[in-house]
Structures are given as structure tokens and as C-alpha cells.
């Protein structure tokens, strides 16, 4: 949220997903960031989601995991694509995100714990498909190398390709100075002396 706020030079975002879940309507919680990019921001109060779902649907597991899908229905007609950014954990957050999504990209840091987590996450996706009727396909697994060329990074990437085959994307996100700058400055594309977009890190 903070990175996108800086990207759009927005000093304060008051609209948030928590109010949308509480009121049963996300359409009033949209903040425009830049042309063709809007945001429904999260906030610390959203950590109460498990309690909110249990209070709203105490005896209905399926309603608990499909509430976000219900809230997103009006927005599907307004947008070409809706991206849901959730941590790769098994929780009410990811349950709702997976049940509301058509496709999923799994981020894989080239660390052993992340590799194990990806396997668990994919197995859990299948559980939601089998038990709750999730309609979700994996677009791919995107490797993020913390240390390009590092021994552990290369081994984990190799193990992932053996485990998941062609589901592991050929594109690899490597650690770059630009990514650190996004935290402080927001997402931007600089220009080089020719006037073209700067696409390479020093």
C-alpha cells in the first residue's frame, strides 16, 4: 500500500478493505493511483479478518472462504484485471483470495523454506478445489533469486524445476537496487540520455 501511495504521490489513503468487508461493499473503497491502476488498500485492522468472518458466518465454512469472491463480483464488470496480493500462507486471507481468483502466480524465493512452502501451498490449492469448488489455475511459479549465482539459490531453483517442471517460469527476478528504491520512492521508470526508459540496474 505504501509503495503504491508513493507511486501516485498520495500522502494519505483513508479507504480500505476492512471497511469494505464490514459494510459488505468494496465499490466505495477504491483509491485511484495512476491512470489504469486503482487500489483497495489494506490496513492493520484487516488482521481481524478471521474474527470478522466467524462472526458474520458462524456456521458456514463456505461463506467464510468465499466472501471476497462475493464482494468482487460488481468490480469484475469494471476492470479488465483484478490482482490480489496476499502472503503465501494458509490463512483466511489466502483462502478468500484463492476462492476469488481465476489464476495464481506463486512467488518462489530461492530458499529451502520457500520451496517447501510452495509445495504446501499448491497442495492446499488442490484441497480448496476438491472441497470448496475453487476454480483456480496456476499461471506459473516465479523464482526470485536473493543472490544470483549463489550455490543455494541455484540448487533450490534446480529442485523446483524438477518438482514443478514447466510450471516454473523462465523469467527470474533477481535482487536489484531498483527494488530497494521502490520502498522509499514508489515505482517509477527513469529515462536514459536517449530518452528511452531505463531498464537496467548498474
Which CATH number covers residue 122?
Answer: 3.40.50.300
pLDDT of the residue at 6: 72
Task: Please report whether residue 160 resides in a domain.
Answer: yes
Q: What is the pLDDT of residue 202?
A: 42
Claim to verify: residue 37 and residue 8 sit in the same structural domain? yes
In a domain, residue 91? The reply is no
Residue 61 CA: distances (Å) to CA of 66, 82, 127, 189: 9, 24, 14, 44
Helices 92-100, 112-132: crossing angle, 10 deg rounding: 60
Domain of residue 42, residue span: 1-85
- Sign of the C-alpha dihedral computed for residues 116, 122, 125 and 130 taken in this order: negative
> Are 58 and 121 part of one and the same domain?
no
Which among 132, 21, 35 is positioned nearest to 70, based on CA atoms? Answer: 21
Domain count, the chain: 2
Query: How far, in Å, CA of 92 to CA of 49, rounded?
Result: 7
Query: Is 146 part of a structural domain of the chain?
Result: yes
Inside any domain, residue 162: yes
pLDDT in tens, the chain (202 residues): 667 767 677 777 889 999 999 999 999 999 988 889 899 999 999 999 999 999 999 999 999 999 999 999 999 999 999 999 998 789 999 999 999 999 999 999 989 999 999 999 999 999 999 999 999 999 999 998 777 778 898 999 999 999 999 999 999 888 766 666 666 566 665 665 566 655 544 4
**Residue among 67, 15, 23 nearest 39 (CA):** 15
In sequence order, which residues have a C-beta less than 8 Å from that of residue 91 and are 6 or more positions away? Answer: 50
pTM as predicted:
0.82
In a domain, 94, yes or no: no
Would you say 19 and 29 are in contact if contact means Cβ atoms under 8 Å apart?
A: yes
Residue 7 domain-assigned? yes
- Establish if 35 belongs to a structural domain: yes
Whether residue 137 is found in the same domain as residue 70: no
Whole-number Å distance between alpha carbons of 27 and 97: 17
My answer on whether 129 and 72 are in the same domain is: no
Q: Do 51 and 112 reside in the same domain of the chain? A: no
Amino acid at each position: 500500500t505504501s509503495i503504491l501511495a508513493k507511486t501516485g504521490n498520495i500522502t494519505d489513503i483513508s479507504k480500505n478493505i476492512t471497511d469494505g468487508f464490514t459494510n459488505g461493499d468494496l465499490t466505495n473503497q477504491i483509491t485511484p493511483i495512476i491512470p489504469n491502476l486503482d487500489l483497495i488498500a489494506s490496513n492493520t485492522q484487516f488482521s481481524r479478518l478471521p474474527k470478522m468472518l466467524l462472526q458474520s458466518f458462524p456456521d458456514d465454512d463456505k461463506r467464510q472462504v468465499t466472501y471476497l469472491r462475493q464482494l468482487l463480483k460488481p468490480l469484475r464488470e469494471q476492470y479488465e484485471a483484478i490482482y490480489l496480493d496476499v502472503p503465501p500462507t494458509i490463512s483466511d486471507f489466502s483462502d478468500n483470495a484463492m476462492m476469488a481468483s481465476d489464476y495464481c502466480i506463486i512467488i518462489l524465493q530461492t530458499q529451502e523454506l520457500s520451496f517447501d512452502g510452495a509445495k504446501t501451498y499448491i497442495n492446499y490449492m488442490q484441497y480448496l478445489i476438491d472441497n470448496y469448488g475453487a476454480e483456480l489455475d496456476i499461471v506459473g511459479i516465479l523464482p526470485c533469486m536473493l543472490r544470483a549465482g549463489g550455490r543455494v539459490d541455484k540448487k533450490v531453483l534446480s529442485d523446483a524445476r524438477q518438482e514443478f517442471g514447466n510450471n516454473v517460469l523462465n523469467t527470474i527476478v533477481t535482487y536489484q537496487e531498483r527494488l530497494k528504491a521502490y520502498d522509499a520512492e514508489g515505482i517509477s521508470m527513469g529515462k536514459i540520455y536517449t530518452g528511452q526508459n531505463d531498464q537496467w540496474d548498474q
